[in-house]
Amino acid sequence: MDIAANLNSIRQRIAAACARAGRAPDAVTLLAVSKTHPPEAIAAAAACGQLLFGESKVQEAKAKIPLCPGKARWHLIGHLQSNKCRDAVELFQLIESVDSLALAQEINKRAAVAAKPMPVLLEVNVAGEASKFGYAPERLLAELAELNRLPRLEIHGLMTVPPYVTDAEKARPHFRRLRELKEQCEQILGAPLPQLSMGMSGDFEVAIEEGATIVRVGTALFGARPKLQREAPGA
């Protein structure tokens, strides 16, 4: 696995997608999804200047982060259980997977104890898939004002994992839907939401064309993950 070469190629593809969409090349941040991959792989990416990583499980991150370069920064991208909020607030610079008011309240409480703000994204289940976590769009719009009143929570934007497709074009309507939902949220909040986290190895270029500001790329950078682990979100 040539992580340096993969990283180069992903960076070029991001830049090309930005150019096609008339966006600045630095409008998109690459989140390297390192779940299941060892600290050595993370160190190899960090040596090439990739310092932002995504992990799905608090427990795995807790064991791994101390073994990784100290300048690395971490996003949680998998489902979070209330009893892991304390660790999550400590380990992650941003939690991308906030999917209920109860969870947001618990994160807020833990962030208050830790005396720090906690940047988050709100995860949306854009296609209403029964197997996935994430807010139903209507519910998010209904709860947004209350989420926004939690003093330690900083809502930076929205995240989604759309239905799996083999043809990236088929993901486009879902990415567009998330962008439109972000605009509705901005109306409710009366303030801009800077981040849209969408797009993975198979479809990040389409996501960029639809406005992604964070793309979450694992396989295209680190190679296939071991199959031991269930691939369901939050598994």
Ligand X SMILES: *Cc1c(COP(=O)(O)O)cnc(C)c1O
Which of 6, 34, 50, 56 contacts ligand X by CB under 6 A? Answer: 56
Rounded CA separation 224/218 (Å) = 8
Interface pattern 79-118 for ligand X (x via CB under 6 A): ----------------------------------------
Using CB under 6 A as the binding rule, whether residue 28 contacts ligand X is answered as no
Pairing of strands 153-160, 195-197: parallel
Q: Which is nearer to ligand X, 211 or 218 (CB)?
A: 218
Q: How far is the CB of 191 from ligand X (least distance, A)?
A: 26
CA 21 to chain centre: 21
55 vs 106 by CB, closer to ligand X = 55
Task: Determine the residue type at 75.
Answer: H
Nearer to ligand X, 77 or 153 (CB): 77
If the CB atoms of residues 36 and 108 are measured against ligand X, the closer one turns out to be 36
| 201 sits near ligand X (criterion: CB under 6 A) | yes
Contact with ligand X (CB under 6 A) among 33, 144, 198, 207:
33
β-sheet bridge partners, residue 31: 216
Strand ranges, E, within 23-152: 29-33, 52-55, 73-76, 94-98, 118-124
The burial class, CB within 10 Å (0-12 / 13-18 / 19+), for 232 is exposed
Q: Is 71 strand, coil or helix?
A: coil
Residue of 10, 120, 121, 161 that binds ligand X (CB under 6 A)? 161
Nearest approach in angstroms of CB 78 to ligand X is 6
Q: How far is CA 163 from the centre of its chain?
A: 16
Among 200, 206, 207, 212, binds ligand X (CB under 6 A): 200
| Stretch touching ligand X by CB under 6 A, among 3-11, 21-29, 87-95, 197-205 | 197-205
171 in contact with ligand X (CB under 6 A): no
Name which of 161, 195, 171 is nearest 27 in CA terms. Answer: 195
Q: Which is nearer to ligand X, 152 or 195 (CB)?
A: 195
Q: Hey, which residues between 207 and 226 contact ligand X (CB under 6 A)?
A: 216-220
Stretches 6-14, 40-48, 148-156, 199-207: which one binds ligand X (CB under 6 A)?
199-207
Taking the C-alpha atoms of residue 172 and residue 61, their distance in angstroms, rounded to an integer, is 31
134 Cβ contact list (under 8 Å, min separation 6): 99, 123, 124, 125, 126, 160, 161
- How far is it, in rounded angstroms, from Cα 126 to Cα 178? 7
Residues near ligand X (CB under 6 A) are: 33, 35, 56, 77-78, 161, 200-202, 216-220, 233
